[in-house]
Structure 1
Amino acid sequence: MKCDKCDIEMKWFDDFPDACGCCGTFYYKCPQCGAVKTKNFG
């Protein structure tokens, strides 16, 4: 997943406060601007 602003690959991370693997929600964070995106695999 790419950051819309920076157009670089976002890093996946699972230490988001309400991140829940069983819910199928994954969080991506841009290492440059810190923008966060979520992707649901539910």
Structure 2
Amino acid sequence: MKLFKTLSILLLTILIFSCGSDDDNSQQQQSTQELLTSGKWYQ
């Protein structure tokens, strides 16, 4: 039971820290509609 509790806490800790937000707001992302209507098409 002690091993199960330790593994559960370890797994929960890993899940909490791995779900962080890594968004980089310095780059502006365009939607598909904006890309299609902008006149600049990239392959």
Pairwise same-fold verdict (TM > 0.5)? no
Q: Which structure features the higher share of strand residues? A: 1
Q: Which has the higher helix share?
A: 2
Higher RCO by CA contacts (8 Å cutoff, separation 6 or greater)? 1
TM-score (norm 1): 0.18
Based on CA coordinates, which of the two structures has the bigger radius of gyration?
2
Q: Give the TM-score of the pair, scaled to structure 2.
A: 0.18
